[in-house]
Amino acid sequence: MSETSSVVEFAKAKFEVPINVGIRGGDLPTRYFAATVLLLLTLTVFPPLGFTFSTVKILALLIGMSGTVLLMCGLVFEQKTHYAGLLLIPAPFVILALVAWRITWLAVLMGLVFISMVTFNIVTKRCGVNRLFGIVSSEDAATCETPSLPS
């Protein structure tokens, strides 16, 4: 726990972006989900494992559909799942396109780039997309943003 907090404090001093990723609205759990399914897709694409193109295509479509569902949850039900939705829609199809063009090592590299982006957001609890949309899902900032009711 102390290692994570020291990383968070380092990132806070380095990037001067307030913490805006937390558990409220499903933001952090959907980032864990995004990292997990992108890792699964990247392992599926990895050439020595020998998965067929059809398997990769089906998995990429399922991940893209889950990204659509997460984005719709973020927009319709006012949850805070925008980031995972925005990431999981294009990322699997970029990886799938690279596999279709038979550039599998670049597909693995792109998968690792997407995973590292999500992991960076999870570890530092900061996200530029949340900042752009004005989304704050951390518990620390939640007390500051709660509107007061008129009396």
Q: Would you state the pLDDT for residue 53?
A: 95
Structural domain harbouring 59:
27-135
Residue-wise pLDDT tens digits, 69-98 = 999 998 888 888 889 999 999 999 999 999
Q: Would you state the pLDDT for residue 99?
A: 96
Matching residue, tokens 């294009």: 90
The answer to the question of residue 123 being in a domain is yes
The answer to the question of residue 148 being in a domain is no
Reply yes or no on whether the pLDDT at 1 is more than 60: no
How sure is the predictor about 149, in pLDDT bands with cuts at 50, 70 and 90?
very low
The answer to the question of residue 110 being in a domain is yes
CA-CA distance, 102 to 51, in Å (whole number)? 13
How sure is the predictor about 65, in pLDDT bands with cuts at 50, 70 and 90?
very high
Q: What are phi and psi of 150, to 5 degrees?
A: -70, 145
Q: Provide the sign of the torsion angle of the four alpha carbons 134, 139, 145, 148, taken in this order.
A: positive
The answer to the question of residue 108 being in a domain is yes
Q: Nearest CA to 84 among 29, 128, 18?
A: 29
Reply yes or no on whether the pLDDT at 62 is more than 90: yes
The answer to the question of residue 95 being in a domain is yes
DSSP letter for 147, please: P
Token pair for 93: 């199809």
DSSP letter for 23, please: S
The answer to the question of residue 32 being in a domain is yes
Q: Taking the CB of residue 75, how many other CB atoms lie within 10 A of it?
A: 12
DSSP letter for 80, please: S
Query: Reduced to 3 states, what is the DSSP secondary structure of residue 78?
Result: coil
- Count of domains observed in the chain: 1
Q: Nearest CA to 41 among 67, 69, 73?
A: 67
The answer to the question of residue 97 being in a domain is yes
Token pair for 24: 């409220």
* Averaged pLDDT for residues 120-137: 88
Reply yes or no on whether the pLDDT at 133 is more than 60: yes
Reply yes or no on whether the pLDDT at 142 is more than 60: no
Residue-wise pLDDT tens digits, 22-57 = 898 889 999 999 999 999 999 999 988 989 999 999
Token pair for 99: 């596999």
Cα 89–chain centre separation: 11
